[in-house]
Amino acid sequence: MDIAVIGVHHRLASIEIREAVSFTDRQKMETISHFLDHGIREVVILSTCNRSEIYILTDQLEVKINLIKIFFQTFSGIDQMERYLFVKINEEAIEHLFKVSAGLDSLVLGEDQILGQVKTAHEFAMKMGSSQKIFNQLFRQGITTAKNIKTTTKMSEQPLSISYIAIKFLKQKVGALTEKAILVVGTGEMSRLALNYLKEEEVKTIYLANRDASKSYDLRQQCEKIVVLAYEQRYDILPKVDFVLSATAAPHFIFKADSIPKIKKQLIMMDLALPRDIDPVLSKWEQIELYDLDGLQTIQDHHAHKRKELTKSAFTMIQNK
């Protein structure tokens, strides 16, 4: 039996490519069942904003890797999809999982969110019966090692995340945020982190919209500057805000170009979702500055150098496992 991981990540594939191979939970279920039916012993699918990776335990390794490559081609509908894929086998695959879990392969080096995503992916596979003795041991060890790395290196003391970089970038663009109004769409982890950072920056008004308004009201209790907005009003509020930060799990654009009202002042829109929330056509509008995950990748943060220094000991810990 061999272990392999096949997939795409942010260094090899643009957001358009990653978007095409992003999995919903239903698609994960169907894909895992498909591979189990084709003789793969164990399967875990990790699908996040920056990567879609399929981990397998199997015999006939070359045949099964080709099966997964064909799957990615069909699933994405992208010509020559194989050129965006990476393949790692056995020790390299295991080391990759450990690096991913610790945030050492992330767009934001050392970020914490990925560890929870790896754990969720493993739990999903266990419920499907596609993670058994070998992968249960492997993923648990990867998660434990990641926690030890974060504790030993104190990496999490540098509070980096995509949300943090987005808010820091806004501050650099316009100066103090104290007189600004922002619309945040979504109440997931990305949005919750952004709300914490916005609270620290003492933003004047935070409009919060979500399909499930009850989640917005729960967050409203934690910050008096939050104004809960009906999801259907997200377009109406745009002329009144300075920024938009959108991070939902919607499978389609929630801000469509043909529905945007007339905007007279400059509006900065930050799309932290994958699939994307905001129609990329809007980047061509004179009144709108649009940034997505790939755009944020180019934004440098003053904590990054320090984190790179901390990761040297992290790599040593992984290699010693």
List active site positions: 49
Say which DSSP state 50 is in: S
Contact present, 184 and 208 (Cβ < 8 Å): yes
State the Cα–Cα distance between residues 268 and 296, nearest whole angstrom: 13
Contacts 24+ apart (CB under 8 A), 307-311: 307/109, 307/110, 307/155, 307/158, 307/160, 308/109, 310/110, 310/153, 310/154, 310/155, 310/158, 311/104, 311/109, 311/110, 311/153, 311/155
Contact present, 56 and 48 (Cβ < 8 Å): no
**Dihedral (CA of 190, 196, 198, 201) sign:** negative
User: What are the two backbone dihedrals, phi and then psi, of residue 52, each rounded to the nearest 5 degrees?
Assistant: -135, 115
Say which DSSP state 260 is in: P
Contact present, 80 and 280 (Cβ < 8 Å): no
Helices 133-153 & 91-101 angle (0-180, nearest 10): 50
State the amino acid at position 250 in one-letter form: A
User: Which distant-in-sequence residues (6+ apart) come within 8 Å of 30 by Cβ?
Assistant: none
- Tokens 């945040």 belong to 184
